[in-house]
Structure 1
Amino acid sequence: MRLPILLLFLGFCGFTGHAAPAPADTLRPISPSRLLRYTYANDLFFRTDYYFTQGMTLTLVHPMLARLPVRPLLAAGPRGSMQQHGLTLRYDGFTPLRIQDAFIRVGDRPYAAYLYGSFFRVSNQPARHQRLTTALEIGFIGPAAGGKQLQTAIHRLTGNAEPRGWDYQIRNAPIIGYRVAFEKQLAANQHVDLLGNAEASLGTLYTYAGTGLRLRAGKLNPCFADLAVTSPGYSGKAHWQLYGEATLTGRLIGYDATLQGSPFTNRDPYTLHASDVGRAILRSSGGVVLAHGGLSFAATATWVSPEFAGGRSHRWGQLGMTVAF
């Protein structure tokens, strides 16, 4: 099941400038911008090895993705907004507090891993300093995501203790979800901007609603001018960027399959009861971004409040690279 999604994604990565044009839309023009982004997150950066233990994303933004048949399912912004279409392949893995225990740790976080593709549409409005993103997420949670094999291989390679409880992970089940996010500039000058955002997700993996703030400061391009990096040949933006970024977000949780298991099955060896799931979660992050032309590097640290009864707050780091082409 993982292979078709991966092949589909890699096929899109092969698109070039001489490919057939995307369908014309005079009311909502499609941006010619293209980028490829990779991120890797791991709590090893803070010398911990529990809860959210590692994750990876690979994202492609390309005008050809507007030809995907899922496009009509992705709500667009107002007329005149510039459209960007993309695909993200995402993997995340989760473990309890002690991975050396070869038994179920009752009251702790279950083992879980998922892999899904997110088809998204961004409606960017530079004049109004706002952006709407809609996404359709399709994939699976369970052993098929390879969480046991990936963490075991990494721990063997690094000489760390091997995880012994993955046989009790949440079982295979499909993921389908729909996410909507809106971002609006609240204040800005040449070197600082403050953004407000709201986001909601309805799906079998995560169901939640949240809102928050994002602050950027330093030498930076306007947030809604184009993509986060300068595409080749694009004028009107600085070629060098160096800025700090901080976010603060609150979420109300309706459902979390990494804690509760999939609503499609009841075969999981162990999950948390709904009453033990934290319903109000706070998340913050801070980082730095360095960009030149079509290349960008980012380093971010994230903190999240306890997600279930008796749980701890948690921190992890993330490294990312973006290439515009």
Structure 2
Amino acid sequence: MRTLLPVLCLLAAPALAQPAPPRPDTRATLSLGVENDVFGGGTDRYYSNGLLLALGSSSAGLPAPLAWLDRQLDALQGPGVLRWGASLNHAIFTPQDIRAAVPDPRDRPYAGLLLGSLSLHRVTASSLSTVEFQAGILGPAAGGEQVQNNWHALIGVRKAQGWSSQIPNTPVVNLALDRRWRTPLGRLGGLETEAVPNVTLVAGNLNIHAAAGGILRLGQGLEGDFGPPRIRPSLAGSAFFQPPADRPYDALGWYVFGGGEARGVAHDLTLAGRGANRGVDARPVVMDLTAGAAMTWRGVRVSYTQVWRTEEFYGQRGGMQSFGSVNLSFRF
């Protein structure tokens, strides 16, 4: 618990004082994302695929029930312009060898995850505070087998053989607290540079972990977002984006970025398994290294992120896992 205290203190601290709040934003953002290890060599193992559908609201006000909930979180969230978000994501986890009908019990178990979330945000000129409630199902009801094997049949790839041993149906709930800061670092060759550090705490029967990290960005129009949206436990970014006020609507915004995050892991149900479907022992520290690029133009944002993730469990073979994330966002 002592290792979590610095993270809890940072999450509960008031957001940094800002010279001016963000201007009102009357548009919402819809984001579509795909994460897959085909972008990391097509190994089809461990974290094999993720799908994300996310909505970031305008800042025109919260619906009454969310406004009440937001008031209860006032001391935790600190000042800022209010936004809310909702998302649905699907993830597939498999062992290294998907050809074996009886998977190696020392390898990551098969698991499908379907997770919905509702989030509340406080946004200032240089900080984003988020409280996110997650609920869903881990197991056959999530449809991991159908999604993976139907896709494999469509593209002519051999089906995964061991889904009959997947983790049984388990309802899951999580609470995620996240804070990130935008810190301008000056200009380099006429381009903006910026650091975006973050701290995160996630607790529930699905995951328990504390994380800290961030990214460095170089480009134009950086104040439009807090990084591209991702599927947790990766660096989450922001589902919404808002073109800077001092740039024309049709001006091209872009940035390249790189960074990383370290997570102290106390529990991961996708690794631990349940009942007779016992899993493997999670490593206490997992690190992600990331690099990528994003571009915005006329209310559209497109981004690509490459991720290198260290071993997540004892006995994992193959070293770091590599996968890519593609995201497309629209303001409406």
Letter in 1 for 2:63: R
Aligned in 2, Cα 1:96/1:34: closer, same or farther, shift over 3 Å? same
The equivalent position to 1:320 in structure 2, one of 300, 323, 327, is 327
How big is the shift at 1:29?
Answer: 10
Q: Does 1:119 align with 2:118?
A: yes
Tell me, in whole angstroms, the C-alpha distance in 2 between the residues paired with 1:167 and 1:30.
Answer: 51
Q: Contact 2:224–2:241 at 8 Å: present in 1 too?
A: no
Letter in 2 for 1:245: F
**What's the counterpart of residue 213 of structure 1?**
214
The equivalent position to 1:138 in structure 2, one of 135, 139, 145, is 135
Tell me, in whole angstroms, the C-alpha distance in 2 between the residues paired with 1:257 and 1:70.
Answer: 29
Letter in 1 for 2:329: T
Aligned in 2, Cα 1:133/1:36: closer, same or farther, shift over 3 Å? same
* SS of match in other structure, 2:182: strand
Tell me, in whole angstroms, the C-alpha distance in 1 between the residues paired with 2:326 and 2:153.
Answer: 22
Q: Does 1:284 align with 2:289?
A: yes
How big is the shift at 1:133?
Answer: 0.8
**What's the counterpart of residue 158 of structure 1?**
155
Matches within 5 A, 1:131-210: 131-190=128-187, 191-210=192-211
Cα shift readout 1:114-167 (whole Å, capped 9, x = no counterpart): 1111100110111xx211011000111110110000000111111111100011
How big is the shift at 1:44?
Answer: 1.1
Tell me, in whole angstroms, the C-alpha distance in 1 between the residues paired with 2:167 and 2:67.
Answer: 31
Cα shift readout 1:19-72 (whole Å, capped 9, x = no counterpart): xxxxxxxxx998533100000011012221100000010001224893274564
Tell me, in whole angstroms, the C-alpha distance in 2 between the residues paired with 1:180 and 1:163.
Answer: 35
5+ residue gaps, structure 2: 1-21, 227-237
Tell me, in whole angstroms, the C-alpha distance in 2 between the residues paired with 1:278 and 1:68.
Answer: 42
How big is the shift at 1:211?
Answer: 0.2
Letter in 2 for 1:43: D
Cα shift readout 1:228-266 (whole Å, capped 9, x = no counterpart): 6446xx7323531121011210000011010013xxxx4
Identity in percent:
24
Letter in 2 for 1:290: M
Paired residues in the alignment total 287
Letter in 1 for 2:32: Y
**What's the counterpart of residue 42 of structure 1?**
36
CA RMSD of aligned residues (A): 2.4
Tell me, in whole angstroms, the C-alpha distance in 2 between the residues paired with 1:130 and 1:115.
Answer: 29
Tell me, in whole angstroms, the C-alpha distance in 1 between the residues paired with 2:131 and 2:241.
Answer: 21
Matches within 5 A, 1:210-289: 210-222=211-223, 229-230=241-242, 235-237=245-247, 239-261=251-273, 266-272=274-280, 276-289=281-294
Q: Does 1:52 align with 2:59?
A: no
Letter in 2 for 1:305: T
How big is the shift at 1:204?
Answer: 1.2
Tell me, in whole angstroms, the C-alpha distance in 1 between the residues paired with 2:23 and 2:193.
Answer: 29
Tell me, in whole angstroms, the C-alpha distance in 1 between the residues paired with 2:210 and 2:175.
Answer: 12
* SS of match in other structure, 1:222: helix
How big is the shift at 1:188?
Answer: 2.5
Q: Which moved more, 1:53-62 or 1:30-39?
A: 30-39
Tell me, in whole angstroms, the C-alpha distance in 1 between the residues paired with 2:225 and 2:152.
Answer: 41
